[in-house]
Structure 1
């Protein structure tokens, strides 16, 4: 299956998007990403924690029912946060963060996570791999001295997904991976 490397990003509700980009603003497509209906946006924000800030954090569309910030462990340390490792949308007991755009700022009370490594499967692909939504597997990827086996990789199956192994930038760099590299369930 192909690797999908995920850099830090924000998912916005429409209301929160309007608060930071302006009442008349709409999310602008930069490029489609592998998951059907999802896209990288031209819009970028600054996120700010107790110890620091990170500028130029990209929005991933479309709008969501919740605003969520996905960062790496290194980002969390630079920001002074201790977010949990979670599946997308599981925001209970996660820290908040300030998000600033060109037209305003919002202060989230919760919503910052380290995304749990996961594989997206279409329902047909999940059946072919004998995968059930929510199960965990081991994944091997990389080459030579950088070959890495990842434990506890969450499997997500839906008719809205396309086959792809998602991990964050730091995890990918540790194994020398880039988008499209092969990964294998072991």
Structure 2
């Protein structure tokens, strides 16, 4: 009888752990990085240059390239900033607030691709450099999820929710935008400043609080 009870308790614990994981979201921390257009890759690395894959990222089809660049602002520079591929229609630089202070720029908090009125920045590669009148942002915190994930969490595309972390420095993140696509894999994206403040690391789990 004792063994039956112990096995029953073990099964219950494993079931509860499984249910808990089903209702949590893995964390993905975005360090500073650059997305480049094809014409800007040509300027920075040479005509016809193709980015090489360093490692695949969690979102399908996305990768960290072996190549990196320097970014520069009025007060300073940051070297070895990773390029993320594949190439995009528009070049974009994503930094944290700490990075922005170091560079001497004031980028707005924006969704990826929303660059109107964003901060100017210079990008320097081995073959040339480009100056963007606008292009540097601090990325808004958001959750990538598939349509099936959205049904499970009972949310919809572009809805805003709160996200709870239960680390030793637990934080409630507000205004977290849901981004739904068949091409997305479930992940809560924050930058390094936000992760450090909450004591979060990659693949930690967080909860949605609607």
TM-score normalised to structure 1 length: 0.97
Alignment partner, residue 91 of structure 1: 115
Alignment partner, residue 16 of structure 1: 40
Alignment partner, residue 170 of structure 1: 193
Mapped partners of 1:83, 1:142: distance in 2: 29
- Tell me how far 1:100 sits from its aligned partner: 0.4
Name the SS for the 1:127 alignment partner.
helix
Larger radius of gyration: 2
Q: Deviations over 1:63-87 (max 9, x none)?
A: 1111000000011111111110000
Please state which structure has a larger fraction of its residues in helix.
2
Runs of 4+ more than 3 Å apart: none
Name the SS for the 1:149 alignment partner.
strand
Which shifted more, 123-132 or 36-45? 123-132
Name the SS for the 1:24 alignment partner.
coil
Mapped partners of 2:43, 2:204: distance in 1: 38
Name the SS for the 2:178 alignment partner.
strand
Mapped partners of 1:143, 1:74: distance in 2: 22
Alignment partner, residue 55 of structure 2: 31
Mapped partners of 1:57, 1:142: distance in 2: 31
TM-score normalised to structure 2 length: 0.86
Name the SS for the 1:173 alignment partner.
helix
Mapped partners of 1:126, 1:2: distance in 2: 15
Alignment partner, residue 81 of structure 1: 105
Q: Residues 142 and 177 of structure 1 are in contact (CA less than 8 Å); yes or no, is this contact kept in structure 2?
A: no
Q: 1:143 aligns with which of 162, 167, 170?
A: 167
- Tell me how far 1:35 sits from its aligned partner: 0.5
- CA-atom RMSD in angstroms: 0.8
Mapped partners of 2:179, 2:88: distance in 1: 18
Distance 1:60 1:142, change over 3 A: farther
Structure 1: runs of 5+ lacking an equivalent? none
Alignment of 1:124-139 (within 5 A): 124-139=148-163
Structure 2: runs of 5+ lacking an equivalent? 1-24
